[in-house]
Amino acid sequence: MTVSNSSVKSSAYLEAVKYRRTVYGVNDDVSVSDDRIIEIVNEVIQTLPSSWNMQSTRILVTLGKEHKRFWDAVIAAAKPFFLEKQGGEGWKRNENRFKSFQAAYGTISVFEDHSAIEKLHERFSHFPITVFEGFAEHSNAMHQITLWTALELEGLGASLQHSHFVPGVEDSIKSTFSIPSTWSIKAQIIFGGLSGEMPTVPGKESVSTTVKVYK
């Protein structure tokens, strides 16, 4: 079916897509209400697509003091790893990075519930489960980019992080926030008040290299 009555035109959508940037060094002084942030999260998760509508994405929203507690949990779990692998200086560098995230206002953690993937796989068990795990990742990433963009259109700055790769960090986040065992964390979107201008677009390969068109 063709939808002809959307009030949003593609140029407005692409303008929004082009506005999003990786913004570091954000602060915890935000003018957007918690209710609006939660509304954005709810709208995104109620709208975004997934393979056969399996809906494997899950979201943890931590705001204000809960955001600070989130990064306390990351820092406590990451410290022994960095001290062992990189020594005191390596830890200092990483601690400073984590503290800069903690200085923000909120973290939206995007998870995937493996039980939703298993449920879909039961319907199509003639294919390997890795096929559906791949689709779940794609859908998860769609949620990430949509949330990231929407937050920045509210006037906030945000970045996409993967601090859970440090051994022990995912378990620490899960136990701190009573996350079900079937959920695994995929990314953290850290956001807060902008302290400067939005960064400029980084250099991109020419479309003659990255796009092929036949017409």
Ligand X SMILES: Cc1cc2nc3c(=O)[nH]c(=O)nc-3n(C[C@H](O)[C@H](O)[C@H](O)COP(=O)(O)O)c2cc1C
| Interacting residues with ligand X (CB under 6 A) | 21-22, 159-162, 199, 202
d(CA 206, CA 215): 20
Q: How many CA atoms lie within 13 A of 177 on its CB side?
A: 27
- Smallest distance, Å, CB 192 to ligand X? 14
Q: Which is nearer to ligand X, 22 or 176 (by Cβ)?
A: 22
- Smallest distance, Å, CB 189 to ligand X? 10
Question: In degrees to the nearest 10, what's the CA dihedral of 55, 60, 63, 69?
Answer: -170
**What would the two tokens of residue 165 be?**
């790769």
- Smallest distance, Å, CB 34 to ligand X? 25
Q: Rounded to the nearest 10 degrees, what angle do helices 114-123 and 129-153 cross at?
A: 130
Please count the other Cβ atoms lying within 10 Å of the Cβ belonging to residue 134. Answer: 13
Q: Which is nearer to ligand X, 101 or 183 (by Cβ)?
A: 101
- Smallest distance, Å, CB 95 to ligand X? 16
Rg (alpha carbons) of the chain, rounded to whole number = 19
Q: Which is nearer to ligand X, 85 or 162 (by Cβ)?
A: 162
Q: Which is nearer to ligand X, 21 or 36 (by Cβ)?
A: 21
DSSP state of 51: G
